[in-house]
Amino acid sequence: MNEGHHEVLAAWGLSLIDFAGVSRALDVGCGGGANLVRLRERMEGGHVTGLDYSELSVEVSRRTNAEAIAEGRCAVTQGDVAAMPFEDAAFNLVTGFETIYFWPDVQAGLAEALRVLAPGGQLLICNEADDTNESACELAASVDTMVVYAGEQLVCLFEGAGFEDVRWQRHPQTGHVAVVGRRPLSVR
């Protein structure tokens, strides 16, 4: 998960984020922890947290980020995206790479991302493929818990959860899809 096409996907997705003022970031579905490293590289100081449902992924991510954890610049927690163990407004940025496919309750996960974001904070969801990718759709059809979303569908889900300034992009060469939304400055 940490190398190859995931590295290309992460680099492109993170290039869509304005890191000015980002001091606290959360990567949901942190897997092996490489994106925690990438986030720290783009932030001046600050703290990065990883969250993953898998105990094994949490262990691997902690090993990958052991030095930063020891220095107090990183933490990795096991948990569920639909019930995140974090305080309200705890982060300026929440990212999710190749994970929303598997969220059992996308609306609950997006509502939690909104809750843990500070006003004006950004959510980035980045996927390798959308519903125009035939092989991804075939794979999803064979995996009961996997859903491949259209970019427009993700925009609607973001907006339904309360995000504003939502935009999506498809990378012209790779077909990667990214959606970015912002938590409103004031509660509606």
d(CA 25, CA 121): 10
d(CA 17, CA 55): 29
What does residue 57 show for φ and ψ, rounded to 5 degrees? -60, -40
Read off the pLDDT of residues 23-51 as tens digits, 9 standing for 90 and up.
999 999 999 999 999 999 999 889 999 99
Residue type, 128: E
d(CA 6, CA 121): 24
| CA torsion through residues 5, 124, 98, 65, sign | positive
Identify the pLDDT of residue 151. Answer: 80
pTM: 0.91
Identify the pLDDT of residue 2. Answer: 39
Read off the pLDDT of residues 159-184 as tens digits, 9 standing for 90 and up.
999 999 999 998 888 888 899 999 99
Give Dmax (Cα) for the chain: 44
> What integer is the mean pLDDT of 74-78?
98
Would you give the DSSP letter of residue 133?
-
| CA torsion through residues 156, 158, 163, 167, sign | negative
d(CA 13, CA 38): 11
Tell me: pLDDT of 113 over 80. yes
Identify the pLDDT of residue 72. Answer: 97
Identify the pLDDT of residue 57. Answer: 96
Closest CA to 11 of 170, 139, 93, 126: 126
d(CA 47, CA 141): 38
